[in-house]
Structure 1
Amino acid sequence: MAAQYVVGIWEFHVNDLDEEFVRLSNEYFPYLVDADAWKASPQLRTIPVSRSLDPGHHSLPYEDAATLVKGHRRYAVAECICRKEHKLVGKGCEKPMEACLVFDTAADYYLRNGLAREIDEAETLKILEEGERAGLVVQPSNSQKAINICLCCGCCCQVLIAMKKHPDPAELFSSAYIVEVDADECVGCEVCIGRCQMEALTMNEGVVSLEQKRCIGCGLCVTTCPTKALNLKRKDIVPEVPRSNTEAAIKLAKARGKLSNAKMAKMALKSKFDRLMAASKR
């Protein structure tokens, strides 16, 4: 199955960017990211940074970044192409550049093609911690067994930039959480407003106010609130997360009209026939 352009082929160009390519790509991106297609089957999902959840809260293993990265065969980290291309044309931010984590077969591909450097589990966890401190949204691939995690900022990430233009961006993201505000505890320090990458928080008469339709449940605002006026709550209805990367790819292809049940059946029959032919030649 062919890779998507974003997330996929675009990221493979991390080492061969130039100003013309970046300029042309940025003209194309607003037309490329289809909000309806993304909503039907998002390639990424948003999970809360670990420290944003109460210690007694029991999240599912694939909803916790630290748990999600443990036990992989291979780890690698690449530069964030979004921050890199923005910086190339004099824009962007100073957030960590090495922020694209890939695992197992994805790490094999990145390392084989010189797109990343190899790291271990301990450094992967350290990069996650640094990303949380820098205010980066944790977005793994939309699978219970993620093969990559993007650490994203709202000023450079092409997905976040595109979705923020939508009138109801929260409905486009696969996220199990949303922020709650305790107005009585808010002291109006505005730290959370600077942390929010989706422009979901504003001040109203000295107290922070949440625009729910913009909140994607990343938890970045929660970790720096000095009075615990903000907390994450689990949604009553949470999105289904595909069990494997293969299941996620099939769901994505079906949602975008690239794969029908008839094509699936044809592929299965051809695969079985090929295996039988291979066995007969041994």
Structure 2
Amino acid sequence: MAYNNEVHNADFAPAYTRLVERLNRFPQGAPPTKPLYDILRVLFSEQEAALVAQLPIQPFSAKDAARIWKIDESAARQVLEALASRALVVDTEKDDGQLLYTLPPPMAGFFEFSMMRVRDDVDQKLLAELYHQYCTVEPDFLASLFGGETQMGRVFINEEVIPPGVAVFDYERATEVIKTASPMGISLCYCRYKMQHLDQNCYAPLDICMTFNGTAEGLIRHGFARQVDAAEGLDLLQQAYDHNLVQFGDNAREKVNFICNCCGCCCEALIAARRFETLQPLHTTNFIAAIDTEACNGCGKCVNTCPVEAMTLVSANVPAHPKQKKARLIEELCLGCGVCARVCGADGITLQPRPERVFTPRTFAHRVVLAA
């Protein structure tokens, strides 16, 4: 699908232009190219776009929306319920039973949510084509999404390869996020399901996208995620480990909202890590791969497994064996995820602490403030 990126506002109802302006109040922004307008027209009616464009960034109640929209509260609640039922807003229930609503950003947000279950109320193949164009083919959105100093996501270490005796904080462990979240939801992987519609998906597990806490609550309520207990969550994490998937999740120490189990071929975050390597679009773990050149046999498994092409093979410089290879790490690209160490049959790769620790914001709100 080819697009002319030039947008003529006359081609779109003013409501969609105002909605685009509203989306650009989020720190990461949403460059206003034609695919974005086409995505919004698939997801929102013109009337909904006009209303959503007026919503605040902070969580709000139906009463707040009614005041903003100048309609009665019951009508506002009906509109919000229709939006929440399609995961275009997320609703969470307070202790007193009142629902609070939040307009999520496009990503991580309603772009993903729209593809996290099989649906017949929206053209998901068309959405997949539009998302691929906007998020992968065109550079502007990914550059704006991952271009700041404080990123929305971070990588979790593969806990199977943590060196003995090395301290790892609980917030660095996906297992601890799973054990302490309430509730936890499982959905289709947005990235691989999108690529399935384009006949470009890999064979990694599909039903493995993890959401937690308030985000999971709203998605479970409206059928975009199925609730699972910690035991099933840990089983799914092990399945992700077995497929050498990278855990990429919410860049916060507390109340993590999501963990994606990412492959290098479909995942937009890992594609961004390769494409915009100089921007350092993902926060790494506090570890980095270290190669034991004496143990390395040059098999190349680490090169084939690394999702961001941080491993390469070079000459071993053995005159008697001119074709012999050794692995070499491109340090500035390494995520510290550990999949290379996991697949190394020669025990030639370990993870070592980085010289300087990577800063992780305390909460989602803290991260938003830092990114603003």
1:9 equivalenced with 2:110 (yes/no): yes
1:221 equivalenced with 2:322 (yes/no): no
Between stretches 83-92 and 171-180, larger displacement belongs to: 171-180
1:210 equivalenced with 2:329 (yes/no): yes
Bigger-Rg structure (1/2): 2
Cα deviation digits, residues 20-56 of structure 1 (max 9, x gap): 2221221111321126854412111012110121131
Between stretches 157-166 and 212-221, larger displacement belongs to: 157-166
What fraction of aligned residue pairs are identical, expressed as a percent? 25
Structure 1 residue ranges without an equivalent (≥5): 255-282
Q: Is the 8 A contact 2:305 2:339 kept in 1?
A: yes
Between stretches 11-20 and 63-72, larger displacement belongs to: 11-20
Equivalent position SS for 2:220:
helix
1:236 equivalenced with 2:345 (yes/no): no
The residue correspondences of 1:174-213 to structure 2 (distance < 5 A) are 174-175=283-284, 176-205=286-315, 206-213=325-332
Equivalent position SS for 1:208:
strand
1:124 equivalenced with 2:233 (yes/no): yes
* Aligned mate of 1:24, from 130, 144, 148: 130
* Aligned mate of 1:136, from 236, 245, 254: 245
- In structure 1, C-alpha distance between the alignment counterparts of 2:277 and 2:358, rounded to whole Å: 20
Stretches of 4+ aligned residues off by more than 4 angstroms: none
The residue correspondences of 1:266-277 to structure 2 (distance < 5 A) are none
Q: Is the 8 A contact 1:77 1:116 kept in 2?
A: yes
Residue identity matched to 1:66: T
Q: Is the 8 A contact 1:83 1:156 kept in 2?
A: yes
1:69 equivalenced with 2:196 (yes/no): no
User: Which residue does the alignment assign to 2:265?
Assistant: 155
Q: Is the 8 A contact 2:186 2:211 kept in 1?
A: yes
1:78 equivalenced with 2:187 (yes/no): yes
* Deviation at residue 251 of structure 1 after TM alignment: 2.5
- In structure 2, C-alpha distance between the alignment counterparts of 1:52 and 1:44, rounded to whole Å: 21
User: Which residue does the alignment assign to 2:71?
Assistant: none
Residue identity matched to 2:337: C
Q: Is the 8 A contact 1:35 1:172 kept in 2?
A: no
TM-score by length of 1: 0.84
1:143 to 1:167, Cα distance in 2 relative to 1, 3 A: closer
User: Which residue does the alignment assign to 2:152?
Assistant: 43
Q: Which has the higher contact order (CA 8 A, sep 6+)?
A: 1
Q: Is the 8 A contact 1:144 1:244 kept in 2?
A: yes
Cα deviation digits, residues 166-216 of structure 1 (max 9, x gap): 2436x3321222111111110122221222111111111211111112211
- In structure 1, C-alpha distance between the alignment counterparts of 2:307 and 2:183, rounded to whole Å: 30
* Deviation at residue 245 of structure 1 after TM alignment: 2.2
Residue identity matched to 2:113: F
Residue identity matched to 2:111: W
Q: Is the 8 A contact 1:39 1:173 kept in 2?
A: no
Equivalent position SS for 1:67:
helix
Residue identity matched to 1:122: A
* Deviation at residue 83 of structure 1 after TM alignment: 0.2
- In structure 2, C-alpha distance between the alignment counterparts of 1:84 and 1:24, rounded to whole Å: 14
- In structure 1, C-alpha distance between the alignment counterparts of 2:338 and 2:125, rounded to whole Å: 34
User: Which residue does the alignment assign to 1:273?
Assistant: none
Structure 2 residue ranges without an equivalent (≥5): 1-56, 58-102, 316-324
Residue identity matched to 1:127: L
Equivalent position SS for 1:231:
strand
Residue identity matched to 1:115: F
Residue identity matched to 1:91: Q
Aligned alpha-carbon RMSD (Å): 1.7
